[in-house]
């Protein structure tokens, strides 16, 4: 279990593509393609995979307790993998903000809240994840089923508090509470996935979760929910039941992915998924509008132009993300060597 799984990286690559699609396709086409059932689940899947990979890290390093988790040797590489590329892209965003003369928020506040662009909330969530993960893992260790019930109840309670108190979307979107069930099930996936696969539990969870997504994100998507925040209604705690069996079933195809060139290439994109996310964030915040204006000058407003727009967005974000990943990885390696030589 310590080796890096191609299936996990491939799933990350798929989700990275879905994020770009989400920010390109909207309106009627969003509904026609049923994107709430797949693309909208990108971040919940990312969070579940984070729980999975962090559990793998704990097992590999034989970490016992919060003290070892928060040790410099364990935390420094994890923080570095987030902070270095994020800081680099944030500088690029500040430059783009100046060049495009965009009216945006204060730079210091923006840096602390994830920068600009769609999905900016994801950065603060990653740092919160580092803080709460040992708590979730200890909760799992004490009693897996009881822990799930507690985590689920806590997530729902926090959602209800945000809804009743009408707290700001900025604060809500950057609170890890709505994803703690996904993270917890990522732990379960790593520890008990093989056992659970032999039961009917995945099928039962899928039916319950899919029912929630169908009603919350499809049939009554415009209904003003009393329990959950309306903007992220469909990706709240119950959707974890829908995502869990999908990720579980996908990972079971790991042997099939081995030694297949296409799978290896897709896995490479998955390893660059965080950098692809950062590039798309800056792109859609500062560049996308200009690109769209250029395309509209030469292309008619029809399905063909929409497809070309999608291809352009995908090429810029994916290729740019991979190049950024390669550059960032070199910088991280140099930084690590300087620290180790001290």
Nearest to 320 by CA among 280, 291, 290: 280
- pLDDT of 190: 96
Do the beta carbons of residue 224 and residue 230 sit within 8 Å? Answer: yes
- pLDDT of 162: 84
- For 146, the token pair is 């009881």
What pLDDT digit, counting tens, does each position of 23-59 carry? 999 888 888 999 999 999 999 999 999 999 999 999 9
What pLDDT digit, counting tens, does each position of 49-74 carry? 999 999 999 999 999 889 999 999 99
Q: What distance lies between CA 204 and its chain's CA centroid?
A: 25
- pLDDT of 103: 64
Global pTM value: 0.92
- pLDDT of 1: 40
- pLDDT of 342: 62
Q: For the purposes of burial, counting CB atoms within 10 Å of the CB of 106, is it exposed (0-12), middle (13-18) or buried (19 or more)?
A: exposed
Which stretches of the chain drop beneath a pLDDT of 50? Answer: 1-2, 224
Cα–Cα–Cα angle for 135, 174, 24, rounded to 5 degrees: 125
Which residues, at least 6 apart from 335, have a Cβ–Cβ distance to it below 8 Å? 80, 84
- pLDDT of 298: 84
């Amino acid at each position: 279990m310590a080796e890096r799984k191609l299936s996990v990286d491939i799933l990350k690559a798929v989700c990275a593509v879905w994020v770009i699609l989400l920010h390109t396709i909207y309106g009627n086409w969003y509904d026609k393609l049923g994107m709430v059932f797949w693309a909208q689940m990108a971040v919940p899947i990312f969070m579940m995979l984070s729980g999975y990979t962090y559990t793998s890290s704990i097992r590999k390093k034989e970490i016992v307790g919060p003290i070892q988790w928060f040790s410099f040797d364990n935390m420094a590489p994890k923080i570095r993998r987030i902070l270095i590329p994020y800081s680099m892209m944030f500088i690029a965003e500040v430059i783009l903000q100046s060049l495009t003369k965009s009216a945006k928020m204060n730079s210091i506040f923006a840096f602390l809240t994830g920068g600009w662009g769609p999905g900016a909330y994801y950065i603060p969530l990653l740092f919160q994840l580092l803080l709460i993960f040992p708590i979730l893992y200890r909760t799992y260790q004490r009693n897996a089923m009881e822990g799930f019930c507690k985590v689920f109840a806590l997530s729902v309670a926090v959602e209800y508090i945000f809804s009743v108190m009408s707290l700001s979307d900025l604060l809500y979107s950057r609170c890890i509470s709505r994803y703690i069930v996904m993270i917890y099930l990522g732990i379960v996936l790593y520890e008990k996935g093989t056992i659970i696969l032999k039961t009917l539990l995945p099928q039962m969870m899928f039916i319950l979760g899919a029912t929630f997504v169908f009603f919350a994100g499809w049939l009554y998507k415009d209904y003003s929910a009393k329990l959950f925040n309306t903007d992220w209604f469909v990706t709240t705690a119950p959707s974890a039941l829908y995502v869990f069996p999908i990720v579980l079933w996908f990972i079971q195809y790991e042997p099939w992915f081995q030694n297949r060139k296409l799978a290896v290439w897709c896995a490479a994109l998955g390893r660059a998924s965080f950098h692809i996310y950062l590039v798309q964030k800056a792109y859609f915040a500062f560049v996308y509008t200009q690109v769209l204006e250029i395309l509209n000058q030469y292309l008619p407003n029809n399905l063909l132009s929409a497809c070309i727009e999608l291809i352009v967005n995908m090429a810029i974000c994916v290729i740019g993300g991979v190049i950024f990943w390669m550059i960032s990885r070199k910088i991280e390696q140099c930084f690590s060597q300087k620290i180790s030589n001290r």
